[in-house]
Every structure is written in C-alpha cells, then in structure tokens.
Amino acid sequence: MMEIAKARSLSEQELAEELESARRHLYDLRFQLATRQLTDYSQISQTRKDIARLLTVRTERQLDGGAASGSSAVAGGE
C-alpha cells in the first residue's frame, strides 16, 4: 500500500515508474481473477487506490506548475 506522503516524496521519474508498476500489477491481478487463481480479492481495490493516489500526485504537480505560469500570464495580459 502506497501512502500519499510517500507518493509526494517521489521524483517525477520514480512516480512514473511506480505508476507503471502499479498498472502492471493490476493487469496481473485481473488476469489471475479471470483464470480463478486470485485468492485475495482486496488486492484489486487496493491497487486501484494506489494508482489513484499516484495520479492525484501527478495532477497536483501539473496544476502547481500550470498555476504558477498561468498567473504570470494573466498579470502580463492586463
């Protein structure tokens, strides 16, 4: 389980790698579910929540970067 504080402490590259890893893990879990090999069904929802946390951090960073450049563009346009 990935905590949000840990996700926020990751670099951009590490965040992308964690996201890719979590998506691959979810794919594997769904495959195990389809082939009736999965025993702990809670792993699917937990992995989905981890992906959501990682995407939230990525979105926060994009908004922080866009807000800084967007506010200066508005001030210059007036």
CA 17 to chain centre: 10
Tokens 């001030």 appear where? 75
CA atoms within 13 A on the CB side of 13: 0
pLDDT value, residue 42:
97
State the pLDDT confidence band at 70, using cuts at 50, 70 and 90: low
Q: Which CATH number fits domain 14-68: 1.10.760, 1.10.10, 1.10.3470, 1.10.287?
A: 1.10.287
Tens digits of residue pLDDT in 46-65: 999 999 999 999 999 999 98
**62-71 contacts: CB < 8 A, separation 24 or more?**
none
pTM of the model: 0.80
Tens digits of residue pLDDT in 2-59: 799 999 999 999 999 999 999 999 999 999 999 999 999 999 999 999 999 999 999 9
